[in-house]
């Protein structure tokens, strides 16, 4: 490892960061970027998914039995999260037709891509459908966003990821990529956060996406567009990429290393997150994942910066841009579920703008 890399590692030594799963769950629809890059690297046509069963375990069941104190501590934190229960919300304001807000996961698990029954009438009747970014509806726009700003997606100075992590970590990375059909050489110059997205998801999730399955937000927008309804976005892909690039590369290196350390454990974490999401317990996701995997999660300046730039800042942007759209009434908004809860979550921010936002069971 180079002297520069060693210094970079020293900067984050001893500091824990946000759980690697946040790269998928809260930061960006990373799955899109990952599989776009995969499509660009390979010219193979999409194949039907053969085995798309993830076989993950809910690690909270194990935690509750083996470490009840940690479980209770995580629950105590989760209970204090404002607007932490519910993924579907009704938005009201005097003089306006009701609108709706759905928290989603940017994955292709069939349990998640099925629109919740309570949300179906609202979506069907909505005149306007809003997602995080409409750029995802056009692969060319996504490609343009990535290729047009190599400073945001590629490692500078002609270096590769092998210059930034040690030989053992390179071997683990190579193995993790191979299990997903991706050669290390093809992604070696990509930013660590982008490489993390290749290995953070279970291999079964990659197979589903490669078979052509789309995540719920995209499906809702595509269907609405085909029906001639108005489809709008709250961000651009370039803005999302910039948000990731604004964080120090040292932070992303640490995230990649911790993702590698989790290995197959990520499948269990994904199952746990999905189970909580399906129960509408969005406020429990991060506190309970942290409680269950204390060796790979924690606080520190890196985590604070992550929350600030990748979650809170974007929450404010989403809420501010959603407000004028909501004045039309009869709007259906779908954004990542972890943007909803918290004192500075989208729900609270819309409430501060004078909207009545209530959960729908």
- Taking the C-alpha atoms of residue 27 and residue 285, their distance in angstroms, rounded to an integer, is 14
Is the pLDDT reported for residue 31 higher than 50? no
Residue percentage of the chain with pLDDT more than 70: 82
CB 30 within 8 A of CB 197: yes
How high is the pLDDT of residue 70?
93
CA atoms within 13 A on the CB side of 205: 29
How high is the pLDDT of residue 146?
72
Average pLDDT for residues 126-146, to the nearest whole number? Answer: 85
Compute the mean pLDDT over every residue in the chain, rounded to the nearest whole number: 82
Is the pLDDT reported for residue 284 higher than 60? yes
Average pLDDT for residues 320-338, to the nearest whole number? Answer: 96
How high is the pLDDT of residue 254?
80
Is the pLDDT reported for residue 231 higher than 80? yes
How high is the pLDDT of residue 239?
87
Q: Are strands 331-336 and 128-131 parallel, antiparallel or unpaired?
A: parallel
Residues 52-69 have pLDDT tens digits of 667 889 999 999 999 999
Is the pLDDT reported for residue 213 higher than 70? yes
- Taking the C-alpha atoms of residue 101 and residue 329, their distance in angstroms, rounded to an integer, is 12
- Taking the C-alpha atoms of residue 323 and residue 345, their distance in angstroms, rounded to an integer, is 14
- Taking the C-alpha atoms of residue 27 and residue 83, their distance in angstroms, rounded to an integer, is 19
Is the pLDDT reported for residue 103 higher than 80? yes
Please tell me which residue, 361 or 301, carries the higher pLDDT value: 361
String of DSSP letters for 124-182: HH-SEEEES-GGGG-HHHHHHHHHH-HHHHB-STT--GGGTS-HHHHHHHHHHHHTTT-
Please tell me which residue, 9 or 215, carries the higher pLDDT value: 215
CB 255 within 8 A of CB 18: yes
CA dihedral sign of residues 214, 59, 335, 153: negative
**Strand arrangement of the beta sheet that strand 230-233 belongs to:** 230-233, 128-131, 331-336, 99-104, 88-92, 356-359
Residue with token string 């990542």: 336
How high is the pLDDT of residue 229?
98
What are the strands, taking DSSP E only, across the chain?
88-92, 99-104, 128-131, 230-233, 331-336, 356-359
How high is the pLDDT of residue 41?
44
Is the pLDDT reported for residue 344 higher than 80? yes
Give the model's confidence band at 130: pLDDT under 50 very low, under 70 low, under 90 confident, else very high. Answer: very high
Is the pLDDT reported for residue 298 higher than 70? no
String of DSSP letters for 213-274: ---HHHHHHHHHHHTT-EEEESS-HHHHHHHHHTS-HHHHHHHHHHHHHHTTHHHHHHHHHH
């Amino acid at each position: 490892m180079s002297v520069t890399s060693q210094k970079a590692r020293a900067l984050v030594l001893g500091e824990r960061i946000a759980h690697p799963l946040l790269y998928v769950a809260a930061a960006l629809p990373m799955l899109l970027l990952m599989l776009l890059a995969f499509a660009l690297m390979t010219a193979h046509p999409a194949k039907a998914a053969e085995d798309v069963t993830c076989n993950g375990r809910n690690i909270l069941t194990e935690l509750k039995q083996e470490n009840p104190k940690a479980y209770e501590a995580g629950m105590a934190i989760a209970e204090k999260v404002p607007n932490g229960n519910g993924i579907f919300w009704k938005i009201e304001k005097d003089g306006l037709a009701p609108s709706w807000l759905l928290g989603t996961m940017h994955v292709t698990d069939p349990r998640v891509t099925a629109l919740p029954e309570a949300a179906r009438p609202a979506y069907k009747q909505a005149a306007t459908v809003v997602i995080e970014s409409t750029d995802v509806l056009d692969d060319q726009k996504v490609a343009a966003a990535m290729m047009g700003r190599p400073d945001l997606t590629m490692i500078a100075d002609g270096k590769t990821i092998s210059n930034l992590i040690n030989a053992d970590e390179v071997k683990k990375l190579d193995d993790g990529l191979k299990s997903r059909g991706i050669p290390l050489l093809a992604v070696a110059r990509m930013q660590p956060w982008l490489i993390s997205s290749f290995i953070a998801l279970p291999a079964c999730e990659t197979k589903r996406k490669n078979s052509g399955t789309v995540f719920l937000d995209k499906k809702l927008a595509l269907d609405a567009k085909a029906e001639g309804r108005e489809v709008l976005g709250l961000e651009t892909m370039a803005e999302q990429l910039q948000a990731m690039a604004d964080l120090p590369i040292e932070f992303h290196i640490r995230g990649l290393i911790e993702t590698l350390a989790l290995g197959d454990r990520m499948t269990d974490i994904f199952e746990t997150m999905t189970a909580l999401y399906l129960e509408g317990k969005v406020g429990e996701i991060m506190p309970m994942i942290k409680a269950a995997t204390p060796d790979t999660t924690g606080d520190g300046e890196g985590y604070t910066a992550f929350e600030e730039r990748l979650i809170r800042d974007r929450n404010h942007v989403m809420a501010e841009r959603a407000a004028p759209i909501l004045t039309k009434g009869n709007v259906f908004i779908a954004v990542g579920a972890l943007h909803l809860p918290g004192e500075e979550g989208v729900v609270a921010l819309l409430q501060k703008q004078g909207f009545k936002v209530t959960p729908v069971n």
